Amino acid sequence: MKTIIEPFKIKSVEPIHFTTKKERKVILEKAHYNPFRIHADDVLIDLLTDSGTSAMSSDQWAGIMRGDESYAGSSSFFHFEQSVKEITGFPIVIPTHQGRAAEKILFSILGGKGKYFISNTLFDTTRANIEFSGAEGIDCLCEAGKYPSFPAPFKGNMDIDLLKKMIDQKGAGNIPMVIMTITNNSGGGQPVSMQNIKAASEVCKQHNIPFFIDACRFAENSYFIKLREEGYAGKSVPEIAVELFSYSDGCTMSAKKDAFANIGGFLAMRDMELAVRCRNLLIITEGFTTYGGLAGRDLEAIAIGLKEVMDEHYLQYRIRSIEYLTNKLITANVPVIQPAGGHAVYIDAKEFLPHIPVEQYPGQALVCALYVEGGIRSVEIGSLMFGKYAPNHQLIPSQMELVRLAIPRRVYTQSHIDYVAEVIIEVFRKRNEIKGLEITEETPLLRHFTAKLKPIS
């Protein structure tokens, strides 16, 4: 088999800024050892997130010019609505400015004290919106998903027995919704099987609990189903997507992921009554129902991107490029989540830095080391992001201490990725020199975005 190439050529380029290691040490100190606080110009390869960082196509840029900026009933809204309806089959489509705006609306309406939302794994903004409403989020990740180096085809799956147990324990009446995150972002970008989606959907139906999909990476997940699940090799990605959504009652989506847009999101559903309540809130917080916090041009870019993302040459290249970096790291014995996920490579920081206890945030320490060594920006997905405090202020750590290297869509070439592998392997060689960190300042919710830290001397 020949090399799988980038299925595009480059028409417009953006320079990247080089810094020295010495400069980066100073930059990191000034940023309080939190790369969210670093200026993007001081980053060489930015793998902080794949969210809103995609390169748009020439078609999408043409769509930006065609965007209809009418306040109500813009033609770009109808193009967007048509695209979402075709892919998901949901009759009601509500635009929002991001995925979290869709979550905020949904959980403000359904959440509240004494309510429980169950998921395979809730993404951080999803969990934060649930908790902000006073409700609780419960993750029921399948057993295989809990072991980073254990290879299984669908490690993002929900543990269906645990789901049933939780419903019995908490009472179906206290569970306003079950949410399946595809792919499972916080769980390693691992896919969820069609069979698992179907099983969760059936359990929800039996108990009359609405079943929603957090669809941020629906195309990547659909492609994994095609590659890995029996009976789907001959189906097209759009066919798989339609089937997957057909088992659910609605979805939230960030168009900053699998829609190649730089901003945007939506909420889609079948329930008319719920939609009326969502639209009422939308008008107060986001905007009128045909733009929801977006410009007409954004709606146009999303409408086009949603179709482009299902192209199988693109998806083959996308999935292969993550696997390519993962395999290079495996060959060098760097501990990573296996098999490769859909949008990012995840390093197991606990294994990488066994000398740093979880109370000293090994994930964040590794994030900082990668920045200093090679100007690479990554993100911790561990106890800085998900840790909580016991009443005696002792840290309740996250299940895993991961470092995520998210690959922006259609942005970096193979030589950029080769460089990334070289930097990680160099840091791995020098791992014993890396020190832990302590927090000096933090906020109660989503603290990882703004926290200040310092190295433990």
Ligand X SMILES: *Cc1c(COP(=O)(O)O)cnc(C)c1O
Residues contributing to the site for ligand X (CB under 6 A): 51, 98-100, 123, 125-126, 181, 185, 214, 216, 254, 256-257, 265
Q: At closest approach, how far in Å is the CB of 298 from ligand X?
A: 12
Q: Tell me the C-alpha distance between 213 and 191, whole Å.
A: 13
Q: How far is the CB of 114 from ligand X (least distance, A)?
A: 24
Q: Which residue is nearest to ligand X (CB)?
A: 99
Inter-CA distances, 45 with 42, 84, 355, Å: 10, 32, 27
Q: Is there a contact between 196 and 216 (Cβ–Cβ < 8 Å)?
A: no
- The one-letter amino acid code at 207 reads H
Is the CB of 182 or the CB of 358 nearer to ligand X?
182
Rounded to the nearest whole angstrom, what is the least distance from the CB of residue 15 to ligand X in the complex? 26
Residues 6+ apart with CB under 8 A from 413: 6
Among positive and negative, which fits the CA dihedral 317, 321, 327, 330?
Answer: negative
Q: Which is nearer to ligand X, 101 or 453 (CB)?
A: 101
Q: Least distance (Å) from ligand X to the CB of residue 51?
A: 5
Least Cβ distance, residue 121 to ligand X (angstroms): 9
For residue 32, the one-letter residue type is H
Rounded least distance, CB 449 to ligand X, Å? 11
Query: Tokens 């929801």 map to which residue?
Result: 292
- Smallest Cα–Cα separation from 151: which of 325, 340, 407, 352? 340
Residue partners of 23: CB distance under 8 A and separation at least 6: 42
Give the C-alpha separation, 358 to 227, whole Å: 36
DSSP letter string, 99-154: HHHHHHHHHHHH--TT-EEEESS--HHHHHHHHHTT-EEEE-B-GGGG-TT---TT
CA 331 from chain centre, in angstroms, equals: 26
Tell me if the bond preceding 455 is cis, omega within 30° of 0: no
The answer to whether the beta carbons of residues 250 and 180 sit under 8 Å apart is no
Whether cis (ω within 30° of 0) applies to the bond prior to 49 is no
User: Is 363 in a helix, a strand, or coil?
Assistant: helix
* Radius of gyration of the chain, Cα coordinates, nearest whole angstrom: 21
The nearest distance, CB 30 to ligand X, in angstroms, is 26
CB 57, min distance to ligand X, A: 20
Task: Locate 273 and state its tokens.
Answer: 């009554």
Least distance to ligand X, CB of residue 52, Å: 7
